[in-house]
């Protein structure tokens, strides 16, 4: 939801398929005044995390290599870094906090924020040993 207008500018609906996460995203493009759909998919990896994000003809990879606290967004075709975020060390004892750096304006910053929220949520669910089936079903970004 955008401030101060309270206009919804992004939507996310997610689900799990046999250990793999997939979400559909929809970002409001203010220039065309239209919603543009895309998706986020998690890949099966043994160490670290890897997601593919597709939106408006653009394909990028969000990857965290074990044991790094830094996650990079790379253009899937060219390999250049579009953005990165780093979990701050204080997150080890308090709630998770991140430092996000964006190097390219090829996609809206909302996509990076949504992807960060997806990864944070999935990581927190993986850490729970209670066997909770709670999942992030809907997310709206300001």
pLDDT range class, residue 60, cuts 50, 70, 90:
very high
pLDDT, residue 132, reads 42
Query: Tokens 């927190």 — which residue?
Result: 124
pLDDT at 139 over 90: no
79 vs 129: which has the higher pLDDT: 79
**pLDDT tens-digit map of 33-59:** 999 999 999 998 888 899 999 999 999
Query: Tokens 């290599």 — which residue?
Result: 65
18 vs 74: which has the higher pLDDT: 74
pLDDT range class, residue 133, cuts 50, 70, 90:
very low
pLDDT range class, residue 3, cuts 50, 70, 90:
low
CB proximity list for 3: less than 8 A, separation 6 or greater:
142
Would you say the pTM of this structure is higher than 0.85? no
pLDDT range class, residue 1, cuts 50, 70, 90:
low
Question: Domain-by-domain residue ranges, the chain?
Answer: 10-130
CB proximity list for 27: less than 8 A, separation 6 or greater:
9, 10, 35, 36, 38, 55, 56, 108, 110, 111
- DSSP string for 67-96: T-SEEEEEETTT--EEEEEEE-GGGGTSS-
Once rounded to an integer, what is the mean pLDDT over residues 19-29? 91
pLDDT, residue 124, reads 81
CA distance 1 to 4: 9
């Amino acid at each position: 939801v955008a401030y101060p207008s309270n206009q919804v500018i992004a939507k996310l609906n997610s689900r799990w398929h046999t250990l793999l996460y997939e979400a559909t995203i929809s970002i409001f493009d203010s220039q065309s005044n239209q919603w543009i759909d895309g998706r986020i998919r998690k890949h099966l990896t043994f160490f670290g995390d890897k997601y593919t994000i597709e939106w408006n003809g653009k394909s990028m990879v969000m990857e965290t290599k074990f044991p790094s606290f830094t996650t990079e967004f790379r253009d899937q075709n060219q390999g250049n870094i579009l953005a990165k975020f780093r979990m701050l060390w204080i997150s080890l004892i308090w709630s998770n906090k991140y430092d996000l750096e964006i190097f390219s304006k090829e996609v809206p910053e909302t996509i990076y924020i949504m992807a960060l929220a997806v990864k944070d949520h999935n990581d927190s669910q993986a850490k729970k040993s209670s066997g909770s089936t709670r999942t992030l079903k809907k997310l709206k970004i300001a």
